[in-house]
Amino acid sequence: MLASFKRACIDPVATDRAGAASDVTLQEFAHRVAIEQPPPGVVARLFRLAEASLEQQISGISRSANLALYCVNAAIAANNQLLQDWESFGARITENGKCLVARKDVIQSFIDDVLLPRDGADPMERMENIPDVDHV
């Protein structure tokens, strides 16, 4: 009984002249071992249900859409800040213009208060020309 069990389960099916397992037996064993191992990740992904892959695609699209929405919201916030800055700069420019008008009025008042000289004859022109006797 033990001999029949050994022949059926332990001894190789095909042996060479020395009694060692033949190449065919070794190849069958290697093939069985390779089949018993799980497939690589790349191949295992192909055996998954299509729905799981579809869920991953939808999840990725959803993440991309959320990221795009976040970027647009950030751009809108930056645009609103620029509008506020623009309004404050506009108010500053308006106030600066009022200040310049006030300065102009002050300068115009100074100009109006200054008396302009009257048109008159030059005193040098009215002087009499005297001959120089000392330096001849």
For residue 35, give both structure tokens: 């089949």
> What is the pTM for the complete model shown?
0.40
Q: Are 38 and 44 in contact (CB under 8 A)?
A: yes
- Residue count (the chain): 136
pLDDT in tens, 51-101: 667 788 888 899 999 999 999 999 999 999 999 999 999 999 999 999 999
The answer to whether residue 111 scores a pLDDT higher than 70 is yes
Q: Where are the domains of the chain?
A: 25-114
